[in-house]
A = this chain, B = another copy of it.
């Protein structure tokens, strides 16, 4: 511990076990982790905050479990770094709860249930409140258990209602001699006039309910997970670290770099707190004509056979390339093509080549795409989980 101040590494949204169009991101996640560990050691931090969505799914694969366990072990057991973690909406709160009481013996704190959030981790300088993702129903169950009247319990309707109550109880635990740090996993937006205000506690952003920053103004600092870019941070002391890696083509298009924050409880937050995490294998987005893509002058300047490519072919005329195996030809030049698309309007009808390489798709994704092609709808979150678990079983775990 630093004694009178505290230096924390803030990361979030690791989503261990996530795939991109069937390509495992585990190696990329391990590569990012090595950098997180190196930054932690170089900066001599007092602890690592992981603000939720440790796994990508409630019932992660055994590979994901083994990987996360190894990462935590390397940080906490091998390098004696305290960990302050919470579960996010992607994690299975009750599953991830297993073993947490033993982890505390080594300064590894992980909260996954609302009940656990009201006792802060006490350091000489600060109180760390670890508030996992929860929903209004969790709050109703908790407050009913605590003896709240049925009437009042029923009035907990939105996440704003729930969060107001939870924070009120957390504020009761404040030690005025210390800094107060919150680690949590929600969508939080500024309470600004350009957002459609729906209540004192929540706003609607693009139709989705988000919490207002004003709810959290008693904290010295709030470390967030949930949104994958740090540019969504609603204020200078309420920040998203973003995810350590790019998870999809949309994120790759934005061209914003990934990283983490180093937060010193004695310093005013600023842009220098950000430390970049470099990709091992980057995701390169190309939107070019077929002729350009096949032009050696163009592709010799690309990181071919090293990074991954998401390619959209502009103005592609399928009638001129009836016998061309588009994907095979591009892969021969570029290496791994994780996504292939066409920007001409009638692509659905003229495209005889699958937009994804079916051999590279996971079984789960084959089902997803089949469903989408038949029904025109995407699988719901629940349906995806269901499909995933069928294949977990079929793989014979």
User: Chain A residues in contact with chain B, CB under 8 A?
Assistant: 58-59, 62, 65-66, 68-69, 73, 76-77, 92, 94-95, 97-99, 101-103, 105-106, 108, 382, 385-386, 389-390, 392-394, 396-397
Contact B62 A95 (CB under 8 A): yes
| Complexed CA–CA distance, A105 and B382 (Å) | 38
Q: With A and B bound together, what is the CA distance between A62 and B97 in angstroms?
A: 10
Q: Are A95 and B394 in contact (CB under 8 A)?
A: no
Return the contact of A396 from the options B99, B102, B382 (Cβ within 8 A): B382
Establish whether residues B397 and A393, one from each chain, have CB atoms under 8 Å apart when the complex forms: no
Does A95 contact B396, Cβ atoms closer than 8 Å?
no
Docked pose: A105 CA to B94 CA in angstroms: 23
B-chain residues with CB within 8 Å of residue A73 when the two chains form the complex: 101
Residues of B within 8 A of A386 (CB): 390, 393-394
Q: How far is the CB of A114 from chain B (nearest CB, A)?
A: 15
A97 to B99, CA, bound (A): 10
By a CB distance below 8 angstroms, the chain B residues around A77 are 101-102
CA distance A277 to B386 in the complex (A): 39
A100–B330 Cα distance when bound, in Å, is: 46
Known contacts: A389-B390, A390-B386. The answer to whether A65 contacts B95 by CB under 8 A is: yes
Q: How far is the CB of A386 from chain B (nearest CB, A)?
A: 4
Residue in A92, A389, A392 with the greatest tally of chain B CB atoms within 10 Å: A389
A66 contacts B396, C-beta separation under 8 Å: no
A68 CB contacts on chain B under 8 angstroms: 98
Interface pair A98/B98, CB less than 8 Å apart: yes
Residue of B nearest to A61 (CB): B94
Beyond A101-B77, A103-B99, A382-B394, whether A94 also contacts B389 by CB under 8 A is: no
Q: A65-B98, A386-B390 are in contact. List 11 more A-B contacts (CB 8 A).
A: A66-B97, A68-B98, A69-B97, A77-B101, A98-B98, A102-B102, A102-B106, A105-B106, A382-B394, A389-B392, A389-B393
Interchain CA distance A99-B96 in the complex, whole Å: 10
Contact B62 A94 (CB under 8 A): yes
A121 to B51 Cα, complex, angstroms? 36
Q: Indicate whether A94 sits within 8 Å of B106 (C-beta atoms), given known contacts A386-B394, A389-B390.
A: no
Residue on B with the closest CB to A396? B382
**Judging by beta carbons under 8 Å apart, are B389 and A382 in contact?**
no
